[in-house]
Structure formats: structure tokens, C-alpha cells
Amino acid sequence: MRPQTGWLSLVSACGALLLLCGVTPAPAQQAQVGNVIGHAAAGKPLYTRYCAGCHGDDGDARGENAQWIDPKPRDFTLAVFKCRSTPTGTLPTDQDLFDAMTRGFVTTNMPAWLPLTPHNRVDLVAYIKTFSPKWKTGKPGTPITIPPEPAATIASVLHGRQLFQKMECWKCHGPAGHGDGPSAKTLTDNKDDPIRPYDFSSGSRFMCGVTNRDLYRIFMTGLDGTPMPSFADDIKPADAWDLVHFLRTLQPLDTPEAAIWKAWLASHAGELKPIGPEGSGQ
């Protein structure tokens, strides 16, 4: 482990000097999160120790443990990532990769790597970027703008429910959001491996976070490499927030959205048409 005291200041100073001299570090060899610069050379032994068992020595998802893992590990040679702040089809930022490593992935074997120091994780990001030539020829997309969240109301929840029906989200996620829609068993990822839709009743975390902003970001960026598309060209920001508010009612949480929904259902349940092939969501 690298001592932190003094090192970060030295690295930050060197990085600033490089920028002043007009030298841009090779993106596939370095990573930067905040003021911390990570180096692929320092990340390689960490990767070998903590990551290669699943992701493979060459980053191709062919580690010795991969055969036992479902869903399969990420193939870094493709440079296709689910969780990003950038538009669909673009590379993620270093911060995106750092956050994914820090957070882990719910319903997968990828844990939260909090035992590693932040600098270790930035070094790992730098090394992961060496597996694909895309990092040498391209650059991350510009993170999307997330507008302020409007207040959750019964009107927004009901409209979100209509959108869930209209956009046919239920075909994958199921009418009640349990990940059991009619298309669920047929879904595959970009490597033709089976993939399961998210089950909103499974807990408080999403694939790419836990907050309402995280869920909004998923709608607008999509989960690249999966059947979950970006809806940035299909719905307005206000509609996306309404969908967020409805989906929160499907989770086993005592959220403000759930409280609004339960209070309304107590006197209006009979007015709703079912979600699904026979319903309108209204």
C-alpha cells in the first residue's frame, strides 16, 4: 500500500506541472479522480491480486472463477460499461469507474471495494483502461445534466405508472416490478449471456446507485451492454422524474413516494386498471 501523506500533494503538483507544459497524460496509462492521479503500473499488482480471478489476467472476463459466476464478470477489453454519467455509447469518466468499484454491483458477485484505499482504486481504474484500445483513441463522453428533482406528488406517481405501461417497462421488469415480465427469460447482454431485469422488490439499491438521481441517470444514459436502453430521446426530464417516483413505490421501503401511494390507494384502488397486456396503467 502506498503511504498517503505527502504523496498526494506531490502527485497533484506533478499533474499541474504537466498541464501547464501542455503535456496530456496518456489516458490508457493514467486516471484522475478529483486531485488523485492513478497509474497503471501501480494498479497492475492490485488487479492481479483482487480482480484477475474473475475478470481474467487480460481483462477479458475469463478468470478462473468466471465459470462459476452469474451474471458474468465485465469484459474490460470491450470498454462497454453499464454505469456511467455519460451518454449511451460513450466511454465513462474515471469518476464513473471509481464509483462503480467503490459501490459494487447489487445482485452480482462484484463487491464494494471499500477495503482498498481511494488511491488504490484510482490506480486500478488506470490499469483497467489499458485493456481496450478505445481509451487510446477516444475520450469519455460529457456527463449528462440532471435537473433538480420536483416534489413527489400523487399526480407524478400516477403519471409515472402510466409511463411504465406506455413504455412497456413491464415486459421486462414485470407488472409489479419483480423482474418477471414476459420478456425476462429471453434477455441477453452484448456477449449473448443471459441477463435478468432488475427486481425492484429486492431491496433499496439499484444497479448503479441508491438515490433518485441515480435512478434518473439510468433512464437517461441506459445500461450499455444490456437490453436497458437510454430514454434520453424518448421522454422529457419531467417524465423521467415521474417514472422515478412511481418506481420508488415498487420497493420495500418506507419512502415518501410509497407513503403518498399507499394513502391514495386506500380510497382509490378500485379505480386503477392493471399494468400489463390488458391494462392501460391508468
What is the distance between the alpha carbons of residues 128 and 2, in angstroms, rounded to a whole number?
A: 19
Has residue 5 got a pLDDT over 50? no
pLDDT at 15: 42
Give the lowest-confidence range in 28-37, 79-88, 123-132, 233-242: 28-37
The alpha-helical segments, DSSP class H, found in the chain are 7-20, 40-50, 52-55, 94-103, 118-128, 134-137, 154-166, 170-173, 212-221, 237-248, 256-268
CB neighbour list of residue 208: distance below 8 Å, 6 or more residues apart: 82, 83, 100, 103, 214, 217, 218, 223
Domain with CATH 1.10.760.10 in the chain: 154-271
CA distances from 116 to 46, 78, 247 (A): 9, 25, 33
pTM for the model stands at: 0.85
What is the distance between the alpha carbons of residues 183 and 172, in angstroms, rounded to a whole number?
A: 5
pLDDT at 281: 54
- Identify which has the larger pLDDT, 155 or 269: 155
Has residue 165 got a pLDDT over 50? yes
Tell me the per-residue pLDDT of 201-260, one tens digit each, with 9 for 90 and over: 887 788 899 999 999 999 999 999 999 999 999 999 999 999 999 999 998 878 899 999
Has residue 16 got a pLDDT over 50? no
HEC string of 151-205? CCCHHHHHHHHHHHHHCCCHHHHCCCCCCCCCCHHHCECCCCCECCCCCHHHCCC
Which CATH architecture describes the domain 154-271? Orthogonal Bundle (1.10)
What is the distance between the alpha carbons of residues 253 and 205, in angstroms, rounded to a whole number?
A: 11
pLDDT at 132: 97
Average pLDDT over residues 134-151: 96
Q: Rank 12-16, 108-112, 236-240, 253-257 by mean pLDDT and report only the highest.
A: 236-240
Tell me the per-residue pLDDT of 58-83, one tens digit each, with 9 for 90 and over: 999 999 999 999 989 999 999 999 99
Rounded to the nearest integer, the mean pLDDT of the chain is 89
Looking at domain 7-137, its CATH class is mainly alpha
What is the distance between the alpha carbons of residues 35 and 102, in angstroms, rounded to a whole number?
A: 17
What is the distance between the alpha carbons of residues 123 and 98, in angstroms, rounded to a whole number?
A: 10
Has residue 121 got a pLDDT over 50? yes
